[in-house]
């Protein structure tokens, strides 16, 4: 398969490159492609002529999206429209990575692919607009992921992720407070990347897929499990957040599940594998 990966040095992109390494692979970093620039993006894509494009690129620092909505919509929506139009014209399959933040959290049980999105903030709205724009080409997969952790860390979060932050706290702090009323689906990027590969290899029907590790937890429970698995001696206290954190509304509940794919392994198993990969 000829696969072009956009955001190849990102947290998910890095693991996608590993998973597709035996394919005819074109990994592109932001230095090599700017998806908001239609004509240059078109030239690059038509030079490689891949069969599949996987777009992980996003402007996804949530408070920054609130401050710079034009940029959020330019990257997360118009950038996807550019890719969809180029894909449609060249018969390329588009894989667009979306988010649990398209939901409002009011359901209070895991969201599946049939649930109706209702994003609460600029980031979520711009990503949902990206989903609609990805549908401009028939051959599309919209893959919603959530609460990612992977070895390379999230570039939009300064190369970190929640697990890396907790590992650092285990070394530097005696006690911490962690939010206990926000529920998420922690997801190992290597597991997500393997599932994306399977969806493509097996020729699943085009459409929306929720790709997360199984199970869900609060950030507090996630932190406690990390410290238990590494045997850290740190006191963890619960903190309660409002729906609005630092002026930005977020869903208090955004666990995902899938009606369409076999469940991935439980997040606690995935965490174990991740910590092994981090050599901890
Ligand atoms: N991280 C999470 O917890 C999470 C949760 C739910 C959904 N998601 C979604 O998952 C995807 C991947 O997340 P991630 O954690 O792997 O993010 P990441 O580490 O920040 O990677 C994003 C990649 O896209 C590149 N990029 C950004 N803007 C671009 C543009 N305009 N044109 C071309 N490339 C661009 C970035 O390059 P530079 O850094 O050099 O700009 C980076 O290589 C995103 O679409 C995000 O919305 C993430």
What is the DSSP secondary structure assignment for residue 100, as one 8-state letter?
G
pLDDT, mean of residues 87-95: 98
Q: Work out the percent of the chain whose per-residue pLDDT is above 90.
A: 96
Q: Identify the residue whose tokens are 């493509």.
A: 200
Q: How many whole angstroms from 233 Cα to the centroid of ligand 1?
A: 33
- Ligand 1 atom closest to the CA of 74, numbered from 1: 31
Cβ 76 vs Cβ 126: under 8 Å: yes
Of the residues 96, 101, 111, 123, which is catalytic? 123
pLDDT, mean of residues 205-232: 98
* pLDDT for residue 92: 98
Q: Work out the percent of the chain whose per-residue pLDDT is above 70.
A: 100
196-201 contact pairs (CB < 8 A, 24+): 196/16, 196/19, 196/54, 196/95, 196/141, 196/143, 197/16, 197/19, 197/20, 199/141, 199/143, 199/261, 200/1, 200/52, 200/93, 200/95, 200/141, 201/1
pLDDT band at residue 246 using 50, 70 and 90 as cut-offs: confident
Q: What's the count of helices (H) and strands (E) in the chain, helices before strands?
A: 10, 14
Catalytic (active site) residue 123: yes
With a 6 Å cutoff on the Cβ, whether 56 touches ligand 1 is yes
In this model, does residue 23 exceed pLDDT 90? Answer: no
pLDDT, mean of residues 92-121: 98
Please name which of 153, 203, 68, 21 lies closest in space to residue 76, comparing C-alpha atoms.
68
Q: How many whole angstroms from 104 Cα to the centroid of ligand 1?
A: 22
Q: 248-249 and 244-245: which strand pairing?
A: antiparallel
* pLDDT for residue 20: 96
pLDDT in tens, 152-176: 999 999 999 999 999 999 999 999 9
CA 67, 164, 155, 195 dihedral sign is: negative
In this model, does residue 72 exceed pLDDT 90? Answer: yes
In this model, does residue 22 exceed pLDDT 90? Answer: no
With a 6 Å cutoff on the Cβ, whether 155 touches ligand 1 is yes
With a 6 Å cutoff on the Cβ, whether 60 touches ligand 1 is yes
pLDDT, mean of residues 79-84: 99
In this model, does residue 267 exceed pLDDT 90? Answer: yes
Q: How many whole angstroms from 102 Cα to the centroid of ligand 1?
A: 16
With a 6 Å cutoff on the Cβ, whether 254 touches ligand 1 is no
* pLDDT for residue 44: 98
pLDDT, mean of residues 223-239: 97
Q: Which CATH superfamily is domain 1-280 in?
A: NAD(P)-binding Rossmann-like Domain (3.40.50.720)
Task: Please report how many Cα atoms fall inside a 13 Å half-sphere around the Cα of residue 248, on the Cβ side.
Answer: 18
- Ligand 1 atom closest to the CA of 31, numbered from 1: 40
Average pLDDT, rounded, for the chain? 97
Distance CA 20, CA 237 (A): 41
pLDDT, mean of residues 116-128: 98
pTM tops 0.85: yes
- Ligand 1 atom closest to the CA of 101, numbered from 1: 6
* pLDDT for residue 138: 98
CB-count exposure of residue 189 (10 Å: 0-12, 13-18, 19+): buried
In this model, does residue 243 exceed pLDDT 90? Answer: no
Map out the domains of the chain as residue ranges: 1-280
pLDDT in tens, 131-152: 999 999 999 999 999 999 999 9
* pLDDT for residue 171: 96
């Amino acid at each position: 398969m000829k696969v072009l990966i956009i955001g190849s040095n990102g947290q998910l992109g890095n693991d996608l490159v590993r998973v597709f390494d035996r394919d005819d692979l074109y990994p592109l970093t932001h230095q090599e492609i700017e998806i908001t620039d239609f004509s240059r993006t078109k030239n690059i894509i038509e030079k490689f002529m891949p069969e599949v494009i996987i777009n992980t690129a996003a402007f996804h620092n949530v408070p920054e999206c609130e401050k710079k909505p034009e940029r959020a919509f330019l990257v997360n929506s118009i950038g996807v429209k550019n890719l969809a139009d180029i894909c449609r014209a060249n018969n390329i399959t588009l894989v667009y990575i979306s988010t649990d933040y398209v939901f409002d959290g009011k359901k209070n049980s895991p969201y599946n692919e049939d649930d109706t999105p209702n994003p609460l903030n600029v980031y979520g709205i711009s990503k949902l607009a990206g989903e609609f724009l990805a549908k401009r080409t028939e051959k599309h997969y919209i893959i919603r992921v959530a609460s990612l952790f992977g070895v390379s860390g999230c570039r939009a979060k300064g190369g970190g992720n929640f697990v890396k932050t907790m590992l650092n706290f285990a070394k530097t702090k005696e006690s911490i407070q962690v939010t206990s009323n926000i529920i998420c689906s922690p997801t190992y990027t290597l597991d997500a990347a393997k599932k994306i590969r399977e969806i493509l290899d097996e020729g699943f029907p085009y459409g929306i897929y929720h790709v997360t590790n199984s199970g869900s937890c609060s950030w507090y429970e996630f932190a406690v499990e990390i410290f238990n698995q590494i045997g850290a001696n740190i006191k963890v206290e619960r903190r309660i957040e409002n729906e609005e954190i630092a002026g930005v509304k977020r869903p208090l509940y955004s666990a995902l599940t899938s009606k369409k794919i076999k469940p991935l392994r439980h997040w606690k198993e995935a965490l174990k594998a991740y910590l092994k990969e981090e050599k901890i």
